[in-house]
């Protein structure tokens, strides 16, 4: 597969200084296109270590697993990038940043001069501590890329045994997909319940019950002692038999490029509210960076979110052109498992109280309020889009720093729109 070469790249392979983006995931690809949408006519180069056209990652644990052959959901294919005058270099890794010369050095020795640089290198799966067999064990995998999804899909089917280490979003979505394919599934979670850091206990309980009803085995409070050829050895002396083991215990930001360049780090590349790093000509966005959130008293947060990657990609592009906009979007997350959809708006950290609001067909929402009454977050679960409208309205309330009446929030007869 060859590179997509378009405006900005000369015949000798060198590129005039312009905008360079490292990472062609959701954030990087959207940023490249956003530069053109904002009217930038100079050179734009998009650099990515993967061999594929830019694609979305959320379907990897769902639709891509359910398909006989995983098919990516594209963001901006080679043709679209070329039409936009974007030089897309796939299978090319950024090796170093020379800040003095304002140049990105690639793994093939080529150099890309930049006027502004965006680091959108994303994150990678956190390795399993104490895995004495090593990451190269043939039956131990992670899920982050299209190639990972293809490898997992090939190992699933009726009678196959899958062990998922980690009861977070990715692990549970994969477990649901594997059950639909007829595989035997065991989810191993070290903490007392699923999704301990992500959702209220009531919502986690619904998901636990649903996975169990679908035939998945859920083990909470289960510590992994090691990986064996037969499966996963637990601290209580038992072994979970598995043909395939997927480790899903979180992600680590890819900051090596930024770190070697001497940029400030704090749970990712430390950026300000405009997504500028400690070097004013270098921006960072998406899963690899942490940003102070004005809505949450400037608390620095690293968001691993599809929507945040989209929003930050566009924001970074505009600010690379001098817009000076600050982060204002409310964090938003979602997960599909079986016929249930979970949606979350905002961040619940620092909440002093919460209220529950019942919906139709078993759906419900949990609202978290700050001690001063301000709405901080809303989490909801139900079949299909049962909670989508109310989560969207809650998102608007959070953005306006609203202090709604808790009784009104809890009353399903009160239209949340009236609280805006």
Whether the pLDDT of residue 3 is over 50: the answer is: no
Q: Is residue 331 part of a domain?
A: no
Q: Is residue 90 part of a domain?
A: yes
Among the three residues 249, 265, 294, which one is the final residue of a domain in this structure? 249
- Residue 236 has phi, psi (to 5 degrees) of -85, 5
The verdict on 238 and 99 lying in the same domain is no
Among the three residues 249, 270, 296, which one is the final residue of a domain in this structure? 249
Q: How confident is the model at residue 15 (pLDDT cuts 50, 70, 90)?
A: low
The verdict on 229 and 264 lying in the same domain is no
pLDDT for 166-178, tens place per residue?
A: 999 999 999 999 9
Angle, helix 306-320 to helix 26-37, in steps of 10 degrees? 40
The pair of structure tokens assigned to 273 is: 């509210």
The verdict on 119 and 189 lying in the same domain is no
The verdict on 354 and 394 lying in the same domain is yes
The C-alpha atoms of residue 54 and residue 25 are separated, in whole angstroms, by: 6
Q: How many helices (H) and strands (E) does the chain have?
A: 10, 25
The C-alpha atoms of residue 244 and residue 237 are separated, in whole angstroms, by: 20
Q: Is residue 147 part of a domain?
A: yes
CATH number at residue 46: 3.50.50.60
Among the three residues 212, 232, 249, which one is the final residue of a domain in this structure? 249
Decide: 168 and 218 in contact? Cβ < 8 Å.
no
pLDDT given at position 10: 41
Range in 24-38, 129-143, 405-419 the model is least confident about: 129-143
Q: Is residue 223 part of a domain?
A: yes
Cα atoms found within 13 Å of the Cα of residue 85, Cβ hemisphere only:
16
Q: Is residue 103 part of a domain?
A: yes
Whether the pLDDT of residue 347 is over 60: the answer is: yes
Residues contacting residue 367 through CB under 8 Å, at least 6 positions apart:
354, 355, 356, 357, 375, 377, 378, 394, 406, 409, 410
The verdict on 155 and 294 lying in the same domain is no
The verdict on 232 and 174 lying in the same domain is yes
Return the bridge partners of 119, or none. Answer: 22, 284
Output b/e per residue, 54-67; b: 16+ Cβ within 10 A: bbbbbbbbbbbbbe
pLDDT given at position 78: 85
The verdict on 133 and 233 lying in the same domain is yes
Give me the sign of the Cα torsion angle 189, 192, 197, 198: positive
The verdict on 151 and 215 lying in the same domain is yes
The C-alpha atoms of residue 342 and residue 203 are separated, in whole angstroms, by: 8
Q: Is residue 51 part of a domain?
A: yes
* Domain count for the chain: 3
The verdict on 156 and 236 lying in the same domain is yes
The verdict on 301 and 396 lying in the same domain is no
Output b/e per residue, 259-292; b: 16+ Cβ within 10 A: eebebebeebbbbebbbbbbbeebbbbbbbbbbb
pLDDT given at position 255: 98
Q: Is residue 214 part of a domain?
A: yes
Decide: 280 and 265 in contact? Cβ < 8 Å.
no
The C-alpha atoms of residue 245 and residue 248 are separated, in whole angstroms, by: 10
The pair of structure tokens assigned to 137 is: 């064990």
CATH number at residue 375: 3.30.390.30
pLDDT given at position 73: 86
Q: Provide the domain limits for residue 299.
A: 18-124+252-320
The verdict on 138 and 207 lying in the same domain is yes
Q: Is residue 327 part of a domain?
A: no
């Amino acid at each position: 597969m060859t590179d997509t070469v378009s405006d900005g790249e000369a015949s000798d392979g060198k590129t005039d200084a312009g905008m360079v983006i490292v990472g062609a995931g959701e954030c990087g690809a959207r940023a490249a296109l956003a530069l053109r949408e904002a009217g930038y006519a100079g050179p734009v180069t998009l650099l990515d270590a993967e061999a594929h056209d830019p694609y979305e990652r959320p379907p990897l644990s769902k639709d891509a697993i359910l398909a006989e052959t995983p098919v990516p959901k594209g963001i901006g294919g080679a043709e679209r990038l070329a039409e936009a005058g974007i030089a897309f270099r796939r299978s090319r890794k950024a090796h170093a940043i020379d800040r003095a010369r304002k140049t990105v050095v690639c793994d093939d020795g080529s150099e890309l001069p930049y006027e502004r640089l965006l680091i959108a290198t994303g994150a990678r799966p956190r390795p399993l501590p104490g895995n004495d067999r090593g990451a190269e064990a043939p039956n131990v995998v992670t899920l982050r890329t299209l190639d990972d999804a293809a490898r997992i899909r090939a190992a699933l089917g009726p009678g196959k045994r899958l062990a998922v280490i980690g009861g977070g979003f990715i692990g549970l979505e994969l477990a649901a997909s594997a059950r639909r394919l007829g595989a035997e599934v065991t989810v191993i979670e070290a903490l007392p319940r699923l999704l301990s850091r992500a959702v209220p206990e009531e919502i986690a309980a619904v998901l636990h019950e649903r996975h169990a009803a679908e035939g998945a085995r859920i083990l909470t409070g289960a510590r992994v002692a090691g990986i064996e050829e037969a499966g996963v050895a637990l601290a209580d002396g038992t072994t979970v038999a598995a043909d395939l083991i997927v480790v899903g215990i979180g992600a680590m930001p890819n900051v090596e490029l930024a770190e070697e360049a001497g940029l400030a780090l704090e749970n990712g590349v430390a950026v300000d509210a405009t997504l500028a790093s400690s070097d004013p000509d270098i921006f960072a966005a998406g899963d690899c960076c942490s940003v102070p959130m004005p809505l949450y008293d400037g608390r620095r947060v690293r968001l691993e979110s599809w929507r945040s990657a989209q929003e930050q990609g566009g924001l970074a592009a505009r600010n690379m052109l001098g817009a000076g906009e600050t982060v204002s979007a409310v964090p938003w997350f979602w997960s599909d498992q079986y016929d249930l959809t979970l949606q979350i708006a905002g961040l619940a950290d620092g909440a002093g109280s919460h209220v529950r609001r019942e919906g139709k067909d078993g759906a419900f929402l949990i609202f978290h309020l700050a001690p001063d009454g301000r709405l901080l977050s809303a989490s909801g679960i139900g079949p299909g889009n049962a909670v989508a409208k109310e989560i969207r309205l809650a998102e608007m309330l959070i953005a306006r720093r609203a202090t709604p009446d808790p009784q009104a929030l809890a009353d399903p007869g009160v239209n949340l729109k009236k609280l805006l």
